[in-house]
Structures are given as C-alpha cells and as structure tokens.
C-alpha cells in the first residue's frame, strides 16, 4: 500500500511544484478556506492512483467532499486524502505545504504518507515502522532512513500551528512548563514529533480528518500517539459525523506519554 501512496504523492508533488513556480489564482470555498488549481490537480492524480490499485476502498478527499462527493464509509476501511495541506503556506510562497494520504481501518490510521515537495522530504509509516524519505529534484527517492520518537527530555519542545494558534494553546504550554515552542505549518508537525525533533503538538482550533490522518499514521508508526482531551486515541470516520471535523487533540512524541495516555 505504501508504494501506491509514494507513487501518488510524488506525482502529485511534481504537479504542485509546477504550479507553485508558475503561480495561480486563489479561490475561497464555502468554509472560507483557500483553494487553488494545485489542490484540484493534485487530488485528481491521487484519486487515479488509489482507484486503480484499490478500486474497492472508498476515498474521502478534501476537494471532492467540498464538491459534495462523499462515499459511504460506514463499517468499511477507507482512505483520507488532503492533496495540498497548508494551502495558505502554498499561497504565501512558504515551503511547508504537504501532500497527505492515509489508510483508515476501524477508526485507526494504519498507514500514511506526508510529502513536502518544496522541501524534498517525505515521511511514511505503517505497521510500527516509520521512515523519512529524501526526495531528489527529479521527484524520486534518493535515500530512506528509519525514524522514531525520542524519550521525553527535561526541556520539552512544543509545536504550534503557524496560522491557527490560540489562547488555549498558550495556556497548555504554560501549564505543562514547555520551555520552547516552534511554529510551523501543515502536517509536518506530526513528522517532527515522529523523527524525534520535538515532543508535543497541542491543537485547540478546528482541523479536519484529512488534515491530520496521514501525519498521525506516521507518528503512531514511529511510537507516538494522538489523544483527545479525554485521553482517548483520536479516531477517524466517526459515526454520525458527516463533516469529518476533529475534536481538540494533543499529539505526543514520547513513548512514555503514549503508554500513560497523559
């Protein structure tokens, strides 16, 4: 499955970078979020790969959902796709945008890829194993390295959303005596936890399931966890929720935290 994810993400990333360099118009969706040609073109590419290799698995993809195309996933495994996570970064010519693809079974993200084409890196995770991929200018993988979360250090580093910080986040950092906080866009926050470069990512503003599933899959494969505020693992494809909105959550890179569900 990850080979399909890689091929789809790399091809989508190539198209995104082509549009990134050429420039494109920006539109606003009904939920007031931005969307570009790159979002649509990347989603078309990803859906083609998934439908060819896994024709029986439904796909929940951001732009398709915005257009009213929502397949029935009740009681079924499914894919979650965000073809361009971090559209605001893309529009502002920052390089932190990503391509996200995840596989969900029984509400759990079991496999995923997060690819940052402008940074030349991707992160993949499946079955308790995670890797960082170094991607060349020709959009092929040059090198792979195993990654894992780190033991929680005395001075913890938190990650916060560049565009969606909140007073609740500031309160959490103070309460937990977080010594440092770095702002970064898109699902790369999960990946920094997964490769042991940070310790916690609290999110108390709105996110969608396709925003988080791929990064969460990578983090869990690397030994971390994502918990809701009641201490339960963040679930996907929640029954009775047609909007795919996540509750507030905290992602931890520490294995100790994952075991304690703290």
Q: Are 161 and 251 within one domain?
A: yes
The residue out of 127, 147, 167 marking a domain boundary is: 147
Q: Are 18 and 96 within one domain?
A: yes
* Token pair 């998934």: residue: 50
The mean-pLDDT minimum among 11-15, 90-94, 194-198, 223-227 falls in 90-94
Q: What is the DSSP string of 110-166?
A: EEEEEEETTTTEEEEEETTEEEEEEE-TTSSEEEEEEE-PPPPPSS-EEEEESS---
Q: How many domains does the chain have?
A: 2
How does residue 32 score in pLDDT terms, banded at 50, 70 and 90?
confident
Q: Are 55 and 104 within one domain?
A: yes
Percent of the chain with pLDDT over 70: 93
What pLDDT does residue 158 have?
Answer: 86
Q: What is the mean pLDDT of residues 147-155?
A: 87
- Which range marks the domain in which residue 104 is found? 2-147
What pLDDT does residue 242 have?
Answer: 76
This prediction has a pTM of 0.91
Which is more confident, 166 or 66?
A: 66
Distance of alpha carbon 114 from alpha carbon 101, whole angstroms: 7
Closest listed residue to residue 190, CA positions, set 228, 223, 151: 223
Per-residue pLDDT reduced to its tens digit, 43-60: 999 999 999 999 999 999
Q: What DSSP designation does 258 have?
A: H
Distance of alpha carbon 181 from alpha carbon 223, whole angstroms: 21
What pLDDT does residue 68 have?
Answer: 92
Q: Are 210 and 173 within one domain?
A: yes
Q: What is the mean pLDDT of residues 196-200?
A: 92
* pLDDT higher than 80, residue 119: yes
Within its chain, how far is the Cα of 86 from the centroid? 10
* pLDDT higher than 90, residue 212: yes
Q: Are 9 and 84 within one domain?
A: yes
Q: What is the mean pLDDT of residues 137-148?
A: 97
Which is more confident, 164 or 205?
A: 205
Tell me, yes or no, whether 152 lies in a domain.
Answer: no
Contact 132, 145 (CB under 8 A): yes
What pLDDT does residue 261 have?
Answer: 45
- The neighbouring-strand residues paired with 158 are 181, 200
Q: Are 75 and 22 within one domain?
A: yes
245 to 69, 87, 90: CA distances (angstroms):
16, 18, 22
Closest listed residue to residue 79, CA positions, set 12, 4, 191: 4
- Structure tokens, 23: 């420039």
Q: What is the mean pLDDT of residues 250-254?
A: 90
Distance of alpha carbon 204 from alpha carbon 228, whole angstroms: 10
Q: Are 17 and 142 within one domain?
A: yes
Q: Are 141 and 173 within one domain?
A: no
158 to 4, 88, 178, 197, 231: CA distances (angstroms):
32, 22, 7, 10, 18
Q: Are 13 and 143 within one domain?
A: yes
How does residue 29 score in pLDDT terms, banded at 50, 70 and 90?
confident
Question: Please, where are the H alpha helices in the chain?
Answer: 2-22, 37-53, 62-66, 87-91, 167-175, 188-194, 209-221, 255-260
* pLDDT higher than 90, residue 101: yes
Percent of the chain with pLDDT over 90: 71
Query: What CATH number is attached to the domain comprising 191?
Result: 3.40.190.80
Q: Are 199 and 122 within one domain?
A: no
Which is more confident, 233 or 34?
A: 233
The residue out of 90, 123, 147 marking a domain boundary is: 147
Strands 121-126 and 129-135: antiparallel
């Amino acid at each position: 499955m990850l080979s399909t994810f890689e091929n789809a993400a790399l091809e989508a990333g190539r198209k995104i970078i082509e549009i990134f360099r050429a420039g494109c118009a920006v539109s606003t969706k009904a939920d007031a979020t931005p969307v570009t040609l790159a979002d649509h073109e990347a989603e078309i590419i990803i859906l083609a790969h998934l439908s060819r290799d896994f024709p029986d698995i439904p796909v929940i993809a951001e732009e398709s959902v915005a257009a009213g195309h929502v397949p029935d996933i009740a009681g079924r495994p499914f894919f979650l796709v965000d073809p361009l996570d971090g559209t605001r970064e893309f529009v502002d010519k920052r390089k932190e945008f990503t391509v996200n693809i995840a596989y969900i079974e029984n509400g759990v993200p079991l496999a995923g890829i997060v690819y940052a084409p402008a940074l030349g890196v991707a992160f993949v995770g499946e079955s308790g194993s995670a890797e960082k991929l170094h991607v060349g200018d020709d959009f092929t993988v040059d090198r792979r390295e195993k990654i894992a979360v780190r033991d929680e250090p005395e001075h913890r580093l938190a990650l916060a959303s560049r565009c969606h910080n909140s007073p609740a986040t500031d309160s959490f950092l103070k309460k937990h005596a977080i010594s440092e906080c770095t702002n970064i866009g898109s699902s790369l926050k999960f990946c920094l936890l997964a490769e042991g470069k940070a310790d916690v990512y609290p999110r108390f503003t709105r996110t969608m399931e396709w925003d988080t599933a791929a990064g969460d899959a990578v983090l869990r494969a690397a030994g971390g966890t994502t918990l809701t505020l009641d201490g339960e693992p963040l679930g996907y494809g929640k029954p009775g929720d047609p909007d795919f909105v996540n509750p507030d959550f905290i992602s931890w890179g520490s294995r100790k935290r994952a075991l304690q569900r703290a």
